[in-house]
């Protein structure tokens, strides 16, 4: 057993109102630079819908993640090592900018500069990449809230699979459709195929907290990671020629603060906590034969932080004491493991993702309420969960590789909680048979309720700070920032050794002498 | 007889080029690792790149292999191994023409793409304006020597002159006189080649130095520990450019 600690996230989809605040604050913090105009480390997509980049879930096309060979070993779907090297010169499976969207801005200046005349000046759209006039026909969240879904929604790869494999048709007519929002960041996988795809070895998983980063000084722009990630959460900065990705806001997290997307989430639906897992068994768990076993296998990897043996092994592995206690209080572990509410996104990619989702019950409640029945009644809801093939099967395609049982369990538990707590709130005698029907007792329902409905900041985010022995350094964070490295926000490049600067010939405009062009004499070096 | 121009071109210039190649490489690695990348433009345009780039690179790798064979392996060694001059000539002419043509065609596609696809053109570097012409001309001159001197004109045995000169340079025993009387197109090709080496570390060509062969040997998933003292360290700023188009 090799115990490692991982910072993981759970999102409660029922609470997401699709406001995109998380996306915008994330973008303002990390990707508001030239070269990353099209990049959203955090994006919120309407499901059913194509997602971002378009149809990223269609791995027949994009070749992300791992596949299990007939011999039971794991292989990158895009091909093994030799294949990767042979396709370095032109990656056959790379999305183009139009698969994301061509970023654009507007000629705002003409609004002010236009000569006096009778016409009202307009701000015409222009490409943010070439400056040429464009007519946007796709953009971030083009199909938000099912907009244009009679046209675009049918292209959802998950719906397509339901249609082809199960013969399930989905209606896009108003009043018969369903939808929910899916906020996505990098999954900081336990078995990251992006890392495995990087020929330079520039991508790595941090041992201390499991955050997956790109070393900006080692990345050589071979752009294989973009293909490797099945969630398409590594992006190519076309200005710097390097890969960038969600950093789990490590400079914040190191100081014990939640990520920007969590901090600003309007629905307060994100949870961050520590999960201990057994690194020795990751490959084994990721290679189970039946895709339906991937979710249980990943559950099994996560270690019980209260088990004395686990604690001992964790201490031996050098995990600091406050990380172990954080794991014991981890809201993420409870939602994933104790209550079995949260589920992984697309476990069938075999990357062992670590951002999990509590599936939304709202589409079911809405459907029940729409038929004139009490949408909060436990028995109505139980019945509806089972009889509504959509969205349960749709959710199962997203979260459990198509196995409806765990999704149904999670939804039934959520329904039981609603019904039970409503009785409590209305001062009625709660029906103990309701939680019993889903394998819980009243006390556990209260625990769930506390976590899902009441949990304050400190309970939603249980984040131990980085390196206790470095408390001294941490003081500096208030005035300094560990993001202040080349290429912008904290992409994990090594810190500069004292006095040794760097200069980028590429971004140098040729005027003046960049500070670090030449080595400096002893003493005068530190800038 | 060697003129002072010969001395300069075939005695001094090679060392200047090597100095720039090595020194520039070290300098760039130390001070501009962030700029050390293939600068892929595939995000902007994929169709043409998928034809041009493999054609160019695979052709070029063959050409480089041919140069190693022709320049570094002494003639008497191949003869010792039983390769006759005629056979060698035939193979080098055949393979050289095919590989050179492939590389040049690939480069033509890449150049066309770079000039005509607006997003790719936009993503070009100032250094490209020198690197691409020098690269193209060097390859053109190289193909000319193969096709013209070795093919149409019947054959020029550069392994009697250029190859020993090249090895002499590497062995710190320059013999500029060997180069004094080689055909003009060879001279041109060598000069352009030296220019290319001198430009190498300062252009996008540096990516060739980091061909990631070690990928074949390392484990798939890389773990790293946070660097001691990394938390809260202050480092230089760069890459924060406004969207200014
Ligand atoms: C074996 C080592 C090499 C590897 C792995 C390699 C790989 C690459 C890659 C990934 C690109 C980016 C293609 C894209 O836009 O996506 C590229 C571009 C390029 N490479 Fe190489 N390369 C190698 C050797 C060379 C050599 C030896 C030269 C020239 C002497 C060269 C010249 C170029 C040029 C000129 C481009 C720019 C193409 C364009 O977009 O116009 N490469 N290379
Ligand atoms: S989700 Fe993140 S860690 Fe997982 S493969 Fe993609 S980029 Fe890598
Ligand atoms: S901020 Fe929260 S509620 Fe709003 S879209 Fe993001 S995850 Fe959903």
**CATH classification at residue B55:** 1.20.950.20
Q: Is residue A394 part of a domain?
A: yes
Residue A366: the pLDDT is: 80
Residue B204: burial class (beta carbons within 10 Å; 0-12, 13-18, 19+)? buried
**A41 and A145 assigned to the same domain:** yes
The residues of chain A scoring below 50 in pLDDT are 468-480, 490-500, 523-527
Out of A261, A293, A328, pick the residue that ends a domain: A261
Residue A469: the pLDDT is: 41
Q: Is residue B90 part of a domain?
A: yes
What sign does the CA torsion over A108, A114, A117, A119 have? Answer: negative
Among A153, A180, A394, A194, CA closest to A269: A180
Q: Six-digit token pair at B214? A: 């070690």
SS (H, E, C) A448-513: HHHHHHHCCHHHHECCCCCCHHHHHHHHHHHCCCCCEECCEECCCCCCCCCCCCCCCCCCCCCCCC
Q: Which of B42, B126, B212 sits opposite A223 (nearest CB)?
A: B42
Q: Is residue B199 part of a domain?
A: yes
- Say yes or no for a CB contact (<8 Å) between A129 and B126: no
**A413 and A292 assigned to the same domain:** yes
Ligand nearest to the CA of B110: 1
Residue A499: the pLDDT is: 37
Which domain, by its residues, includes B191? Answer: 4-33+44-209
Q: Is residue A64 part of a domain?
A: yes
Helix, strand or coil, per DSSP, at residue A347: helix
Interface residue A503 vs chain B (CB under 8 A)? yes
pLDDT by residue, tens only, chain B of 245 residues: 678 999 999 999 999 999 999 999 999 999 999 999 999 999 999 999 999 999 999 999 999 999 999 999 998 898 888 888 888 888 889 999 999 999 999 999 999 999 999 999 999 999 999 999 999 999 999 999 998 888 787 778 898 999 999 999 999 999 999 999 999 999 999 999 999 999 999 999 999 999 999 999 999 999 999 876 555 444 445 665 556 54
Which domain, by its residues, includes A514? Answer: 500-527
Angle at alpha carbon of residue A86, lines to A85 and A88, rounded to 5°: 65
Q: Are A440 and A413 in contact (CB under 8 A)?
A: yes
Q: Is residue B159 part of a domain?
A: yes
Residue A498: the pLDDT is: 36
Q: Give me the phi and psi of B28, to 5 degrees please.
A: -65, -40
Helix, strand or coil, per DSSP, at residue B179: helix
Interface residue B29 vs chain A (CB under 8 A)? no
Q: Is residue A111 part of a domain?
A: no
The model's pLDDT over A234-253, given as tens digits with 9 standing for 90+, comes to 999 999 999 999 999 999 99
Helix, strand or coil, per DSSP, at residue A343: strand
Residue A442: the pLDDT is: 93
Residue B133: partners with Cβ closer than 8 Å, 6 or more residues away: none
Residue A495: the pLDDT is: 40
> What residues in B contact A238, CB-CB < 8 Å?
41, 43-44, 123
**A235 and A296 assigned to the same domain:** no
Q: Whose CA is nearest to atom 3 of ligand 2?
A: A188
Cα of first residue to Cα of last residue in chain B, in angstroms, is 58
Q: Is residue B244 part of a domain?
A: no
Q: Is residue B230 part of a domain?
A: no
Q: Are B223 and A224 in contact (CB under 8 A)?
A: no
Q: Is residue B235 part of a domain?
A: no
Does residue A53 have a cis peptide bond before it, meaning omega lies within 30 degrees of 0?
yes
Ligand nearest to the CA of A198: 2
Which residues does ligand 1 sit against, CB inside 6 Å?
A 88-89, 222; B 38, 40-42, 49, 53, 57, 60, 110, 114, 135, 205, 207-208, 211
Q: Is residue A8 part of a domain?
A: no
Return the exposure string of A126-143: e unless at least 16 CB atoms fall within 10 Å of the residue's CB, then b: bbbbbeeebeeeeebbbb
Domain total for chain B?
A: 1
Q: Six-digit token pair at A56? A: 């990223």
Q: Is residue A118 part of a domain?
A: no
Cα B231 to Cα B234: distance, rounded to the nearest angstrom? 9
Rounded (to 5) percent helix, strand, coil in chain B:
70, 0, 30
- Residue A217: which CATH number? 3.30.70.20
Ligand nearest to the CA of A241: 1
Out of A210, A238, A261, pick the residue that ends a domain: A261
The ipTM estimated for the assembled molecules is 0.89
**A213 and A251 assigned to the same domain:** yes
The residue of chain A nearest to residue B215, with distances taken between CA atoms, is A199
Q: Is residue B234 part of a domain?
A: no
Q: Is B89 annotated as a binding residue?
A: no
Does residue A48 have a cis peptide bond before it, meaning omega lies within 30 degrees of 0?
yes
Among A5, A461, A460, A399, CA closest to A190: A5
Residue A378: the pLDDT is: 79
Going by DSSP bridges, is the β-strand pair A355-358/A484-485 parallel, antiparallel, or unpaired? unpaired
Q: Which residue is it, tokens 């993640």?
A: A65
Domain total for chain A?
A: 3
Residue A519: the pLDDT is: 59
**A370 and A385 assigned to the same domain:** yes
Q: Is residue A328 part of a domain?
A: yes
Q: Which of A97, A196, A519 sits opposite B44 (nearest CB)?
A: A97
Out of A246, A261, A276, pick the residue that ends a domain: A261
Cα A143 to Cα A148: distance, rounded to the nearest angstrom? 6
Q: How far is B138 from chain A (nearest CA, A)?
A: 21
The model's pLDDT over B128-169, given as tens digits with 9 standing for 90+, comes to 999 999 999 999 999 999 988 887 877 788 989 999 999 999
Q: Which of B42, B239, B240 sits opposite A94 (nearest CB)?
A: B42
Q: Is B181 annotated as a binding residue?
A: no
Residue B40: partners with Cβ closer than 8 Å, 6 or more residues away: A221, A222, A223, A236, A241
The DSSP annotation for B104-147 comes to: HHHHHHHHHHHHHSHHHHHT--TTHHHHHHHHHHHHHHHHHIII
Q: Is residue A158 part of a domain?
A: yes
Q: Whose CA is nearest to atom 4 of ligand 3?
A: A19
């Amino acid at each position: 057993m090799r115990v490692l600690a991982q910072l993981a996230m759970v999102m409660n989809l029922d609470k997401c109102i699709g406001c995109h605040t998380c996306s915008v604050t994330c973008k303002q913090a990390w990707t508001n630079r030239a070269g990353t105009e099209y990049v959203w480390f955090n994006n919120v997509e309407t499901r059913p819908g194509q997602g971002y980049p378009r149809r990223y879930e269609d791995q027949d096309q994009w070749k992300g993640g791992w596949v299990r060979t007939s011999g039971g070993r794991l292989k990158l779907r895009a091909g093994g090592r030799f294949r990767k090297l042979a396709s370095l010169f032109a990656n056959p499976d790379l999305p183009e900018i139009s698969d994301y969207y061509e970023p654009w801005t507007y000629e705002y200046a003409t609004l002010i500069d236009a000569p006096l005349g009778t016409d009202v000046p307009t701000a015409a759209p222009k490409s943010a990449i070439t400056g040429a006039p464009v007519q946007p026909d796709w953009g971030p969240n083009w199909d938000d809230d099912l907009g244009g879904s009679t046209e675009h929604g049918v292209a959802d790869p998950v719906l397509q699979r339901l249609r082809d494999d199960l013969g399930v048709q989905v209606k896009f007519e108003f009043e018969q459709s369903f939808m929910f929002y899916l906020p996505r960041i990098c999954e900081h996988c336990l078995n990251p195929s992006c890392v495995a795809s990087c020929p330079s070895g520039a991508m790595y998983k941090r041992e201390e907290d499991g955050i997956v980063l790109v070393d900006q000084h080692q990345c050589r722009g071979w752009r294989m990671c973009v293909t490797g990630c099945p969630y398409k959460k590594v992006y190519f900065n076309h200005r710097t020629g390097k890969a960038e990705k969600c950093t789990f806001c490590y400079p914040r997290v190191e100081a014990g603060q939640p990520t920007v997307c969590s901090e600003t989430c309007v629905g307060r639906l994100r949870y961050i906590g520590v999960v201990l897992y057994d690194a020795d068994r990751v490959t084994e768990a990721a290679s189970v034969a039946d895709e339906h076993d991937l979710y249980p296998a990943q559950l099994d990897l996560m270690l019980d932080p209260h088990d004395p043996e686990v604690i001992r092994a964790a201490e031996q592995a050098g995990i600091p004491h406050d990380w172990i206690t954080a794991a014991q209080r981890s809201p993420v572990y409870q939602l994933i493991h104790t209550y079995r509410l949260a589920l992984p996104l697309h476990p069938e990619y075999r990357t062992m993702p670590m951002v999990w989702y509590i599936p939304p019950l709202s589409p079911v409640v809405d459907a029940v309420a729409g038929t004139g029945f009490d949408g909060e009644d436990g028995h109505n809801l139980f019945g509806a969960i089972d009889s509504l093939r959509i969205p349960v099967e749709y959710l199962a395609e997203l979260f459990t590789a198509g196995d409806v049982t765990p999704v149904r369990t999670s939804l039934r538990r959520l329904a039981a909680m609603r019904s039970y707590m409503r009785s409590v709130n209305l001062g009625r005698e709660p029906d103990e048979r309701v939680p019993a029907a889903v394998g819980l007792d009243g006390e556990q329902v209260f625990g769930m309720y506390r976590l899902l409905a009441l949990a304050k900041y400190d309970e939603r985010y249980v984040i131990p700070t980085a390196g206790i022995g470095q408390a001294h350094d941490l003081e500096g964070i208030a005035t300094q920032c560990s993001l202040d490295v080349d290429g912008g926000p904290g992409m994990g490049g090594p810190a500069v050794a004292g006095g040794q600067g760097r200069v980028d010939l590429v971004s140098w405009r040729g005027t003046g002498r960049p500070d670090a062009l030449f080595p400096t004499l002893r003493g005068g070096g530190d800038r | 007889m060697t003129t002072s121009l010969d001395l300069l071109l075939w005695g001094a210039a090679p060392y200047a080029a090597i100095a720039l190649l090595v020194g520039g490489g070290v300098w760039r690695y130390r001070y501009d690792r962030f700029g050390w990348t293939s600068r892929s433009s595939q995000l902007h345009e994929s169709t043409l790149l998928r034809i041009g780039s493999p054609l160019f690179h695979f052709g070029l790798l063959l050409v480089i292999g041919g140069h190693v064979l022709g320049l570094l392996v002494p003639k008497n060694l191949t003869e010792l191994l039983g390769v006759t001059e005629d056979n060698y000539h035939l193979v080098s002419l055949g393979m050289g023409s095919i590989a050179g043509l492939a590389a040049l065609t690939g480069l033509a596609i890449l150049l066309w793409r770079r000039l005509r696809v607006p997003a790719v053109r936009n993503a070009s570097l100032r250094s490209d304006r020198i690197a691409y012409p020098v690269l193209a001309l060097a390859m053109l001159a190289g193909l000319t020597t193969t096709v013209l001197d070795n093919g149409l004109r019947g054959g020029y045995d550069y392994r009697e002159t250029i190859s020993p000169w090249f090895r002499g340079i590497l062995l710190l025993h320059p013999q500029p006189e060997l180069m004094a009387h080689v055909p003009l197109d060879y001279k041109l090709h060598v000069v352009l080649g030296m220019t290319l080496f001198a430009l190498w570390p300062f252009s996008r060509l540096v990516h060739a130095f980091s061909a990631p062969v070690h990928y074949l040997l390392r484990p798939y998933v890389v773990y790293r520990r946070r660097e001691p003292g990394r938390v809260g360290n202050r480092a230089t700023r760069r890459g924060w450019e406004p969207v200014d188009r």
